[in-house]
Amino acid sequence: MATLTPEATELEEPEEHGAEGGGLWSWITTVDHKRIGLMYGGTAMLFFLIGGIEALFIRLQLAVPDATVLTEAQYNQLFTMHGTTMVFLVIMPLAAAFGNYLLPLMIGARDVAFPRMNAMSFWVFLFGGIFLSSSFFLGGFPDGGWFGYAPLSTQSEMIRMDFWALGLLILGIASLAGAINFTTTIFTMRAPGMSMFKMPVFVWMQLVVAFLLLFSLPVITVALFEVLFDRNFGTLFFDPAAGGDPILYQHLFWLFGHPEVYILILPSMGIVSEVLPVFSRKPLFGYQFVVFAGAAIALLGFGVWSHHMFTSGLGPVAESAFSLTTMFIAVPTGIKIFNWIGTTWGGKISLKTPMLFSLGFIAMFTIGGLSGVTHAVVPADTQQTDTYYVVAHFHYVLFGGAMFGIFAGIYYWWPKISGRYLSEPLGKWHFWLMLIGFNLTFAPQHWLGLQGMARRTAVYPPDIGLETLNMVSTIGAFTIAVSMLPFLYAMLVNSRTGAPAPADAWDGRTLEWSISSPPPHHNFHDVPTVEAIDDFWHQKYGEDDEGRAVRVKTFPEPSRYTDKYIHLPSPSYYPIMLAGGLVLMAYGFIFAPLGIPLFVIGALILFGGAFGWAQEDPDHPMGDHDDHHAEPDDGSEPDETAEEAAGDEVEDPTAALADGVVADGGDDA
Amino acid sequence: MRLIPLALLILLVASACSDNLPRSTLNPVGENAETIDNLFRLTLAIAAVFFVGVNAAVLYVAIRYRARKGDDREPKQIHGNDTLEITWTVIPALILAAIAVPTVQTVFELAEEPADALQVEVIGHQWWWEYRYPELGVVTANEMWIPTDQPVFLSMTTDDEDVIHSFWIPNLNGKRDVVPGRVNTLTISAPEPGVYLGQCAEFCGLSHARMRMTVHAAEPADFDAWVTDQLAPGNVDEDSEGWGLFLDKGCSACHAIGGTEAAGGGLNPGPDLTHVGSRTTFAGGSYQLTTENLKAWLRNPSELKAMEPDANRGMPNLGLTEDEIDTLVAFLQDLK
Amino acid sequence: MSTETAVHGPVGTDGADIRKTAMWAFLGSECLFFGSFIATFLLYSDETNGGPGTELFDIPFTSVSSFVLLMSSLTMVLAHNAYEREDGRQMRIWLMATALLGTVFLGGQVFEFTTFYAEGLRMDISPFGSAFFVLTGFHGAHVAIGVIMLTSMVIMSRRGNLHAHRGMNVELVGLYWHFVDIVWIVIFTVVYLLQV
């Protein structure tokens, strides 16, 4: 994935992104959703490797009882950062990467609704991730667990948990801005004719995720502010001695935390819902049901949070109520699984790597879902929660589920992104090694948990039956690490030397396959008009009397270039400036009072960025990079319809308000 | 290849059942633990049906419908089937409802306080457990004794300055969080005498992993004998060298010895040592109480168990000489 | 390029203003933000930890400042009307009036905070104090941001930078401003009126 870093791509494929040109500066100032998507993905993959290395250290420590590979202090830091990294710096941004790259392509738009705000989201995410990780060099990683329960998170005098709380607040800004952007994009930028129920399921799932983010992020924001203020300003939100209640923190955290689970898994459900039909050569079974099930999961997801607190002492009435809602959420989840199987049933299945990962997703996610049902049974949960049984459960959901779906998506869309196929043999090695390694690692953890192994324990005693399975689990973890090698090799090498992929690389169904691989800078020469779900497929195929697909039309290979003049949003350096200022402020806050000058400098940069942004005319940017024509301009007339659809120069009030600091967001004239 | 997880599961179940598992939820002893285990097995059996069904379907599809060379017919384009949709919505919902009924019943059942229970107050500390028997006047640490003929009702909390812990003896019942500012309750019972192990189950900071506990379930007569022993004052010779060191080195600032001038009135932050010599473990239940271990402990407690004495969480290194250590260890082991 | 500027609204496929969609999404999110702080306050409304509690509230005073903030919603509506009539001068006057009323409200809040601190109700005295100051403080910060946005718009309009196709700003800031007012009505009811 290293080729995704700006420098690498720019050096190797200067023509890759059309007239926007190469050079580091062009990546820093880019507002192109495709480039932003790639940067999201590349950064998240780097964090995936970091989080994976953290996991390997954890598994090394746990390979044998009473091990001393790590000290308790180091172990606590590593599992805290492993969880925080994988959730906030890997899976969420990977979903954002897919959303960024694909949403406009799949709905027939030239960009997202707010390109500059989109760039800001990425830079805030990147700097926020660096900020959080830099704690390692500045006193140690946070060590309070990824959900930072008070009062443990407010107890320590160390600055680590300040890094954690502030880091998550910063990342929350990126996610909130992204959610606003995606919501608006999906609601307002769809190609003519694409009604809501003609959208691809992936787009639906991104919309549901955006809504989940909109309504859950503010809740954790409040929880984090309260922790931060307790730690730094002497407030007493979670101080039992003064009457504060630690359980309040748990309610706030999980009122975010459970929707968060669906934020992590729904994008992959969307990916799988795109991949399965293509490789079965059948439409998605029960499209409306899959969509409604996704929405139902999201809605119910706000009513189940207390099942994370079944041992907190809620009382039997609340426990029963949350038990029922939690069980009920299994119904729409089941509907999805059955519809996916229905999609493949009777199809003509091609077991290419994306399909393998998608089928793997169904199998592994089902296991995670079923162990989830056992958690809904409150009495059983009191034995399982905070043990390795839960660790196994959420890894089946988030690794076997979310990550398998993401890998399916990478293998599926990489030909579109790079114009080259990834190697099938390498992909199959990757899949099978990962599937075996994954099950070796996490299946035994169910039993470890049931045998009394509590999670988050740096050491466990010998002679209580935990040795063998822990060793198996560690071997599995290293198998997963090995499985990443063919993947990384394929990404690094095949992206340049792989078999060239045509525009319609898999005989696809959705709009992105109708344009060249890689896509033109402006996505669509002409904004398409949509008549049906899977419109592109239905242009290619009809049905005979038996209902079998029949090819009716073949499109010529589309060009990346057009002789039309297509206006695109201009690059801007204000987003990165704003993000940089924000993170400087965070460092300043952490190291107050010494850091106050840094805080002030950061605030000035942020203010300047916001002010410049507000003043910047997206149509007439700074003279030195006004190259906002998509393609060589032969002087033909501007394509006005296209420009309207691009809706590009829109900006700031929301961006400015989203971070709650910027003062002059309103005036974007 | 896809059968690997299944094969693995069978292997694991087999291996899990064979061992002696003093901390296993699958080996319930107490009545509540048994109720939970039965409910879990019921749920697991139903889940297993779905597990096998879905995975078999995936496997079947991948084999049966795989594209074959020479077959250039396209599949039928089936967009959905409402009857199927309703079926696979209603049936799982009914099955879940069937699980929900015993679940809710059990939740209320487990929340009841038994009428004739022995009362024990559990206080979680970073990183050890304190037990108080208000009816009996006994105070002890890390190792709880209970009679086999009586359920035990635990009222659990922590100091205000402490953090959340979770009390968990898998053989005897599910876990229950121990939250500062609240009192949570849990009923355990052990009809068979034996030693049952536990582990703090809510991450509570640095030495969470070494915050363990032991429950000794004893026949009523043995339990009464234990209580009688515990109520006796500490076995202290006030002229002994060990006692002198205990006072001089500041041990009594944190540790109480009942019936002496170091009785402490229960305000001390460390475990009560009145009968420490009668226990089998120490240091949050994570080390066997042997002469060698005790000596190593006194040489540098944080070496054996990570602690934060500077923040008043755990025992500092007292900088004792080997002679002092020998004397103190002998003194402690005499506190039967 | 000149032809574009005329049609160049920030509009989506169907011609609707996409910034309004975004603003609604943002405000929806804000509801949960204030909702969580209000929930925190309700939980802690009696947790005074031996310090002062709701008896310090001066309902007549806060009623007056609440009234001032409510009136600012009216002036905001008038500003928007003036904008629709393309009456720049009137618009600036009403925007200024709105900003001024907002500032008066903030002044009232500063006075109230100062009084409470003098009487011993502090952020670090009790969970009640923490919840009260953090909730009302975050609301005050929202008002302050609104005032700055209003002022900026007045300045831009004077410079002639509020072009017709960007006039939607007045509506957007108006949305935000009305939202902040509505939140205050909820806070005033729940935190002040229902607690005394």
- CB < 8 Å from A in window 56-115 of C: none
Cα–Cα distance list, A163 to A129, A248, A584, C161 (Å): 11, 22, 13, 41
Nearest CA-CA distance, residue A192 and chain C, Å: 7
- CB < 8 Å from C in window 409-428 of A: none
Q: Which residues make Cβ contacts (< 8 Å) with residue B294, sequence separation at least 6?
A: B282, B329, B332, B333
Give yes or no: residues B200 and B309 share one domain: no
> What is the C-alpha to C-alpha distance for residues A630 and A452, in angstroms, rounded to an integer?
61
Neighbours of B221 (CB within 10 A): 9
ipTM of the complex: 0.93
- CB < 8 Å from C in window 559-588 of A: 567
Model confidence band, residue A566 (pLDDT cutoffs 50, 70, 90): confident
> What is the C-alpha to C-alpha distance for residues A597 and A603, in angstroms, rounded to an integer?
10
* H or E element, residue A603: helix A596-615
Task: Tell me whether A252 touches chain C (CB under 8 Å).
Answer: yes
Model confidence band, residue B19 (pLDDT cutoffs 50, 70, 90): low
Q: Give per-residue pLDDT as tens, C11-64.
A: 778 777 888 899 999 999 999 999 999 999 999 999 999 999 999 999 999 999
- Cβ–Cβ below 8 Å for B104 and A461: no
> What is the C-alpha to C-alpha distance for residues B88 and B81, in angstroms, rounded to an integer?
11
* H or E element, residue C65: helix C59-84
Q: Are strands B138-141 and B128-133 parallel, antiparallel or unpaired?
A: antiparallel
Query: Is B212 a domain residue?
Result: yes
Nearest CA-CA distance, residue B160 and chain A, Å: 5
Structure tokens at A392: 């196994």
Q: What is the DSSP letter of A492?
A: I
> What is the C-alpha to C-alpha distance for residues A310 and A377, in angstroms, rounded to an integer?
10
Task: Tell me whether C38 touches chain A (CB under 8 Å).
Answer: no
Q: Give per-residue pLDDT as tens, B199-223.
A: 999 999 999 999 999 999 999 999 9
- Cβ–Cβ below 8 Å for A464 and B311: no
> What is the C-alpha to C-alpha distance for residues C131 and C133, in angstroms, rounded to an integer?
6
Give yes or no: residues B167 and B53 share one domain: yes
- Please tell me which of the candidates A311, A331, A346 has its beta carbon nearest to residue B175: A311
Q: What is the 3-state secondary structure (H, E, C) of A8-65?
A: HHHHHCCCCCHHHCCCHHHHHCCCCHHHHHHHHHHHHHHHHHHHHHHHHHHHHHHCCC
Model confidence band, residue A638 (pLDDT cutoffs 50, 70, 90): very low
- Cβ–Cβ below 8 Å for A377 and B43: yes
Give yes or no: residues B51 and B148 share one domain: yes
Interface test with C, best of A225, A650, A652 (most C CBs within 10 A): A650
Neighbours of A436 (CB within 10 A): 18
Residue the block writes with tokens 């042997």: B290
* Burial A642-656, CB ≥16 within 10 A → b, else e: bbbbbbbbbbbbbbb
Query: Is B327 a domain residue?
Result: yes
Nearest CA-CA distance, residue B304 and chain A, Å: 11
H helix count then E strand count, chain C = 6, 0
- Cβ–Cβ below 8 Å for B103 and A377: yes
* H or E element, residue C36: helix C18-44
Q: Give per-residue pLDDT as tens, A577-600.
A: 999 999 999 999 999 889 999 999
Query: Is B236 a domain residue?
Result: no
Which residues of chain A neighbour B85 with C-beta distances below 8 Å?
286, 289, 335, 339
Domain tally, chain B: 2
- Please tell me which of the candidates B24, B36, B62 has its beta carbon nearest to residue A379: B36
Model confidence band, residue A621 (pLDDT cutoffs 50, 70, 90): very low
Average pLDDT score over residue span A69-91: 96
Average pLDDT score over residue span B47-63: 95
Q: Is the pLDDT reported for residue B307 higher than 50?
A: yes
Query: E strands within chain C?
Result: none
Which residues of chain A neighbour C134 with C-beta distances below 8 Å?
225-226, 229, 235
Structure tokens at A10: 């720019």
- Cβ–Cβ below 8 Å for C169 and A668: yes
Nearest alpha-carbon partner for A20 in A7, A31, A11, A12: A31
Average pLDDT score over residue span B318-331: 94
Give yes or no: residues B119 and B212 share one domain: yes
- Show which subunits contact C, needing at least 3 CB pairs below 8 angstroms: A
Question: Is the domain covering C17-45+70-193 a CATH 1.20.120.80 domain?
Answer: yes
Q: Are strands B287-288 and B281-282 parallel, antiparallel or unpaired?
A: antiparallel
Task: Please state, rounded to an integer, the average pLDDT across all residues of chain A.
Answer: 88
Task: Tell me whether C130 touches chain A (CB under 8 Å).
Answer: yes
Altogether, the residues listed in chain C come to a count of 196
* H or E element, residue B156: strand B152-158
Cα–Cα distance list, C189 to A526, C38, C109, C147, C183 (Å): 54, 11, 16, 23, 10
Give yes or no: residues B195 and B309 share one domain: no
- Cβ–Cβ below 8 Å for B111 and A282: no
Query: Is B185 a domain residue?
Result: yes
Chain B touches chain A, with at least 3 Cβ pairs below 8 Å, answer yes
- Cβ–Cβ below 8 Å for A457 and B26: no
The strands making up B184-188's β-sheet, listed across from edge to edge, are B138-141, B128-133, B118-125, B152-158, B184-188
Strand partners, B153: B119, B187
Helical packing angle, B31-64 and A353-376, nearest 10°: 160
Q: Are A271 and A98 in contact (CB under 8 A)?
A: yes
pLDDT at B7: 62
> What φ, ψ does residue B203 adopt, rounded to 5°?
-55, 120
Cα–Cα distance list, A584 to A590, A591, A652, A661, C89 (Å): 10, 11, 21, 14, 40
Model confidence band, residue B312 (pLDDT cutoffs 50, 70, 90): confident
Task: Tell me whether A113 touches chain C (CB under 8 Å).
Answer: yes
User: Hey, where are the domains in chain C?
Assistant: 17-45+70-193
Which residues of chain C neighbour A230 with C-beta distances below 8 Å?
130
- Please tell me which of the candidates B58, B161, B197 has its beta carbon nearest to residue A341: B58
Q: Is the pLDDT reported for residue A295 higher than 70?
A: yes
- Cβ–Cβ below 8 Å for C13 and A189: yes
Q: What is the DSSP letter of A464?
A: S
* H or E element, residue C177: helix C168-187
> What is the C-alpha to C-alpha distance for residues A90 and A488, in angstroms, rounded to an integer?
16
Query: Is B184 a domain residue?
Result: yes
Alpha helices in B65-129 (DSSP H): 82-111
Domain hosting B118: range is: 1-11+23-62+113-217
Nearest alpha-carbon partner for C1 in A622, A650, A111, A640: A640
- Cβ–Cβ below 8 Å for A657 and C10: no
Task: Tell me whether C172 touches chain A (CB under 8 Å).
Answer: yes
Nearest alpha-carbon partner for A533 in A257, A179, A277: A277
Helical packing angle, A467-489 and A33-62, nearest 10°: 150
- SS3 at position A143: coil
pLDDT at C11: 75
> What is the C-alpha to C-alpha distance for residues A437 and A278, in angstroms, rounded to an integer?
27
Q: Give per-residue pLDDT as tens, B124-139.
A: 999 999 999 999 999 9
- SS3 at position B186: strand
Least confident of A60-64, A126-130, A542-546: A542-546
Q: Are A560 and A516 in contact (CB under 8 A)?
A: yes
- CB < 8 Å from C in window 629-658 of A: 638, 640, 643-645, 647, 649-651, 653-654, 657-658
Give yes or no: residues B162 and B245 share one domain: no
- Cβ–Cβ below 8 Å for A456 and B205: no
Residue in chain C lying closest to A661 (CA): C145
Q: Is the pLDDT reported for residue C141 higher than 60?
A: yes
Size of interface A-B (CB pairs under 8 A): 329
Interface test with A, best of C3, C14, C18 (most A CBs within 10 A): C18
Give A649 or B268, the one with higher predicted confidence. Answer: B268
Q: What is the 3-state secondary structure (H, E, C) of A350-396?
A: CCCHHHHHHHHHHHHHHHHHHHHHHHHCHHHHHHHCCEHHHHHHHHH
Which residues of chain C neighbour A222 with C-beta distances below 8 Å?
33, 36-37, 40
Q: Are A184 and A270 in contact (CB under 8 A)?
A: no
Give yes or no: residues B293 and B173 share one domain: no
- Please tell me which of the candidates C8, C30, C176 has its beta carbon nearest to residue A218: C30
DSSP state letters, B251-310: GGGT---TTSTT-GGG--SSPP-TTGGG-SEETTTTEE--HHHHHHHHH-HHHHS--BGG
Task: Tell me whether C178 touches chain A (CB under 8 Å).
Answer: no
Q: Is the pLDDT reported for residue B5 higher than 90?
A: no
Nearest CA-CA distance, residue A345 and chain C, Å: 37
Task: Tell me whether C165 touches chain A (CB under 8 Å).
Answer: no
Chain B touches chain C, with at least 3 Cβ pairs below 8 Å, answer no
Quick check: bond before A444 cis, omega within 30? no
Q: What is the CATH number of the domain that holds B138?
A: 2.60.40.420
